Amino acid sequence: MTRKKLMAANWKMHKTPDQAREFVASFLPLISGHHRDEIVLCPSFISIPATIEALQGSRVDTGAQDVCWEQHGAFTGEVSPAMLRAAGCTHVIIGHSERRQFFGETDDSVNRKLRAVLPTGLKPIVCVGEVLEEREAGVTEDVLRRQCSLAFREISAGGAAPIVVAYEPVWAIGTGKTATPELAGEAHRLIRHQAAQAFGEDVANRMRILYGGSVKPGNAALLMSHQDIDGALVGGASLEPKSFAAIVNY
């Protein structure tokens, strides 16, 4: 089974609209010869329109970093899946560990967001991953099983096809400590097994599972050469056009 890789930039709380435009102007020429992978930039909500406008005519997509589980209503400060679609987004990150850690995201809210997003045609990138204490306590597999099975609850096999999962071990995020391809591969196989239990082998075999956590130009090729790693979700190294282009062109 060959799965088209997805190379995603998570800009987190960086880049104003002007800075997003500047990035795109420098980035596009660096990847002009690239036709292999799906590429997506995920700016903050406020920089989404500028990014989409700057990317027009390119084959690079735009995604959001979070979303509400309702399509409209009295939810101050939130942005709905329908709004992201209307703005021109194609992807959305759900359940990033920073949202779980700092903003009260739970396995249940991840599931609600995923169920709200799937009917709209947005491609969700669902983040899972253990924190350092969980890895050291030997409960990584339990954590991943729980996060996946709760995220996938009440989703039919027919509706699950667009789901992308990103395995981001929290101890590797922003720390310069990258998981080895073998260690990531193990986690990815477990995630695929959970997907097979929820949606069947066929959907699971097609599902892309990305790795995130200190992906850099220097380690991208090795990580991407592993058969169970279907792309990358890149934080810090996606902020500079040259380094993200080097990752995309691994």
Residue in this structure with the two tokens 């056009």, named with its chain if needed: 241
The answer to whether 218 contacts ligand 13P (rule: CB under 6 A) is: no
> Which residue is catalytic, options 38, 130, 168, 188?
168
Is residue 228 helix, strand or coil? coil
Distance CA 71, CA 78 (A): 10
CB of 74 to ligand 13P, least distance (A): 30
The answer to whether 164 contacts ligand 13P (rule: CB under 6 A) is: no
Q: Cα-flanking dihedrals φ and ψ of residue 39, to 5°?
A: -125, 135
Report which residue's Cβ sits closest to ligand 13P.
Answer: 235
Q: Give the residue, chosen from 236, 243, 245, 246, that forms a contact with ligand 13P under the rule CB under 6 A.
A: 236
Distance CA 198, CA 140 (A): 19
Please count the residues of the chain.
Answer: 250
Q: Give the residue, chosen from 63, 81, 235, 241, that forms a contact with ligand 13P under the rule CB under 6 A.
A: 235
- Closer of 8 and 198 to ligand 13P (Cβ): 8
Active site (annotated) includes residue 96: yes
Residue in this structure with the two tokens 């691994």, named with its chain if needed: 250
Say what the alpha-carbon torsion angle 165, 171, 176, 178 is, to the nearest 10 degrees. -50
Give the number of C-alpha atoms closer than 13 A to the C-alpha of residue 59, restricted to the C-beta side.
13
Other Cβ atoms within 10 Å of 222 Cβ, number: 13
The answer to whether 233 contacts ligand 13P (rule: CB under 6 A) is: yes
Q: Are strands 38-42 and 6-10 parallel, antiparallel or unpaired?
A: parallel
The answer to whether 168 contacts ligand 13P (rule: CB under 6 A) is: yes
Site pattern 73..112 for ligand 13P (x: CB under 6 A): -----------------------x----------------
The answer to whether 215 contacts ligand 13P (rule: CB under 6 A) is: yes
CA diameter of the chain? 49
Residue in this structure with the two tokens 């609600």, named with its chain if needed: 112
Q: Give the residue, chosen from 120, 214, 219, 243, that forms a contact with ligand 13P under the rule CB under 6 A.
A: 214
The answer to whether 63 contacts ligand 13P (rule: CB under 6 A) is: no
The answer to whether 212 contacts ligand 13P (rule: CB under 6 A) is: yes
Active site (annotated) includes residue 168: yes
Q: Give the residue, chosen from 5, 6, 7, 10, that forms a contact with ligand 13P under the rule CB under 6 A.
A: 10
Instruction: Give the binding site for ligand 13P (CB under 6 A).
Output: 10, 96, 168, 173-174, 212-215, 233-237
Residues serving a catalytic function are: 96, 168
